[in-house]
Amino acid sequence: MAFWSVFGTILAALATLAIFSFLYKDNPFYRSAEHIMIGLSVGYGLGQLWHLGFKQFLFDPLFKEARYELLIPTAIGMLYFGFVHPKTRWLIRIPIAILMGIMAGFGLGPGMQASIFKQVQGTIIPLFRYGLTVGETFSNILLIVGVFSAIVYFFFSWKHKGVVGGVAKVGIYFLMIGFGASFGLTVMGRISLLIGRIVFLFQDLPKVLFGG
Amino acid sequence: MKRSLPLAIVFIGGVVFFISYFVPHYISEEILQRQIMVEWIKVISLFAFVIGLYSLIHLHVNKIKRKVDNWQYSILTLSGIGVMFIVGILLPEKFNGGIQQGSIYDWIFMNLQVPLQATMFSLLAFYITSAAFRAFKARSVEATCLLLAAVVVMLGRVPLGETIRSITQGFLDFPKWTQWILDVPNTATKRAIMLGVALGMMATSLKIILGIERSWLGGSE
């Protein structure tokens, strides 16, 4: 096996063990690995930013395709550097204002379409229809009750008393079931990552080091 | 000027882009929504990332300069950034530079960053289990709902759930129950939360456009 492949596997194993050492207690190996990870992640982002960001969206269109209109967003983006001096610091508000304005305006229209209309549309489902089984009808009723009661729970303009309080209580049960399911999925995701690391340490690493 | 100009830009940008969504015209579809919304925004955002990077480097350089507690670790962070910068951007492709597959940048990513991140996240398995033990103590009906849903989902997603189904001849069908929990109560919950978030987002957007919400301008003049 090539030297770099073996060396890479050993490096990966050392990195894995350094992070796992935190299970005993906070120690310099863990801290070093943690800081290296942050540095590498930022460095990785930097490489992506340069090649898939600046080169792809700015330099290549600007210099190879002569799309000089891109100088306008470039000039706007350069205003971010105004923050280096106290007198020009306020200039940073201009690119932020442009992004905020566009995002806010765009969020109102398509945001309403994607997040409200689509969700309401998905909730308007047949309760009783020829061909629906009892189980499907029950699930559909439960879905509508769940959405409605959970929304009522989040509605704080009325006091949660009487009928509103009762509906909100049902909403809490739905929320708890939903959070429980999400928690279960998260736990399973983490456990599967842990299994992956254990398999690497006890199967892949010995194979690379000792063959087999 | 320093505050009114950004507020005017937000107002004009917000109103123009909101209206453009409802107007099927070349200017709104091609120029506003494709060119400005997609291309220009990307270019402007690129510079914001540079500012973030500058802040991080500045923070760690200051830590080293002032020799604050644990400053030595900042050297490691800066070294990580520096190494990736050199191999990913400065080093020519003929010396295995760049970000393509097989480059040094890719080798470091695969052999150091991926294991570090995967292990870091897998570490959470231990802490999430301890948190689960505390959260799932069935002291109330709500906590019982949480516990039952989580247990069913966890059993439904592992081979043990399938085994239990086979042994009980389909009586305890955890995979099927998991799917039902995800399709019905979980969907209902997510939908309600999403509707709430969307309404909140719209209200905030409106407040930003109308200049009622000004916290993004910062405190100083």
The complex's ipTM works out to: 0.84
- Of B43, B68, B93, the residue at which a domain comes to its end is B68
Q: Chain B contact for A122, CB < 8 A?
A: yes
In a domain, B221, yes or no: no
Q: Could B146 and A180 be called an inter-chain contact, meaning their C-beta atoms sit closer than 8 Å?
A: yes
pLDDT at A212 over 70: no
pLDDT digits (tens, 9 = 90+) for B104-154: 999 999 999 999 999 999 998 888 888 877 776 767 888 889 889 999 999
Same domain, yes or no: B16 and B43: yes
How many structural domains is chain B composed of?
3
A171 contact residues in B (CB cutoff 8 A): 192
pLDDT of A39 reads: 96
Q: Is residue B6 part of a domain?
A: yes
Nearest C-alpha of chain B: how many angstroms from A24?
12
Distance spanning both ends of chain A, measured CA to CA: 12
Q: Per-residue pLDDT averaged across A153-163, rounded?
A: 87
Check B146 against A177: CB less than 8 A apart: yes
Segment A171-183 mean pLDDT: 94
Residue with tokens 């940048």: B105
Answer yes or no: is pLDDT of B34 > 90: no
- What would the mean pLDDT of A70-90 be, rounded to a whole number? 91
Least reliable range by pLDDT among A81-90, A142-151, B32-41: B32-41
Considering the domain boundaries, does residue B159 fall inside one?
yes
- pLDDT band at residue B43 under the 50/70/90 scheme: very high
Confidence of residue B220 (pLDDT cuts 50, 70, 90): low
Record: contact A115-B216, CB cut-off 8 A:
no
Q: What percent of chain B clears pLDDT 90, i.e. is strictly above it?
A: 60
B129 occurs within a structural domain? no
The per-residue pLDDT for A132 is: 83
Query: Same domain for B142 and B111?
Result: no
Kindly state whether residues B55 and B114 are assigned to the same domain: no
Taking an 8 Å cut-off on Cβ atoms, the answer to whether A35 and B190 are in contact is: no
Q: What range defines the domain where residue B42 resides?
A: 1-68
Please compute the mean of the pLDDT values over residues B58-86 and round it to a whole number: 95
- For A22-38, the pLDDT digits (tens) are 999 999 999 999 999 99
**B163-195 pLDDT, tens per residue?**
999 999 989 999 999 999 999 999 999 999 999
Alpha-carbon distance A195 to nearest alpha carbon in chain B (angstroms): 8
List Cβ neighbours of B33 (8 Å cut-off, separation of 6 or more). Answer: B20, B21
Do B50 and B34 belong together in one domain? yes
Of the candidates B123, B145, B164, which is a domain's last residue?
B123
Please write down the HEC assignment for all residues of chain A: CCHHHHHHHHHHHHHHHHHHHHHCCCCHHHHHHHHHHHHHHHHHHHHHHHHHHHHHHHHHHHHHCCCHHHHHHHHHHHHHHHHHCHHHHHHHHHHHHHHHHHHHHHHHHHHHHHHHHHHHHHHCCCCCCCCCCHHHHHHHHHHHHHHHHHHHHHCCCCCCCHHHHHHHHHHHHHHHHHHHHHHHHHHHHHHHHHHHHHHHHHHHHHHHHHCC
Please check whether residue B202 lies inside any domain of the structure.
yes
B57, part of any domain? yes
Q: Is A126 on the interface with B (CB under 8 A)?
A: no
pLDDT score for B157:
87
So what's the pLDDT on residue A160? 86
Question: Of A55-59, A141-145, B24-28, which gets the smallest average pLDDT?
Answer: B24-28
Residues A113-136 have a mean pLDDT of: 86
Q: Say whether both B44 and B78 belong to one domain.
A: no
> How many angstroms separate the CA of residue B167 from the nearest CA in chain A?
23
Q: According to the model, what pLDDT value does residue B138 have?
A: 65
Give the mean pLDDT of A40-48: 95
A166–chain B Cβ distance below 8 A for any pair: no
Residue A166 has pLDDT above 60, yes or no: yes
What distance in Å separates residue A84's CA from the closest CA in chain B? 10
Please give the average per-residue pLDDT across B13-41, as a whole number. 83
Is residue B180 in a domain?
Answer: yes
Q: A168-187 burial, b for 16+ CB within 10 Å, e for fewer?
A: bebbbbbbbbbbbbbbbbbb
Q: Are residues B111 and B144 in the same domain?
A: no
pLDDT score, position B32: 76
B18 has a chain A CB within 8 A of its CB: yes
CA B7 – CA B218 distance, rounded (Å):
12
- Establish if B131 belongs to a structural domain: no
Check whether B42 has a pLDDT greater than 80.
yes
Question: Does one domain contain both B206 and B151?
Answer: yes
Is residue B194 located within the same domain as residue B142? yes
pLDDT value for A159: 87
Q: CA B17, CA A104: separation in Å to the nearest integer? A: 8
- The reported pLDDT for the residue numbered B125 is 85
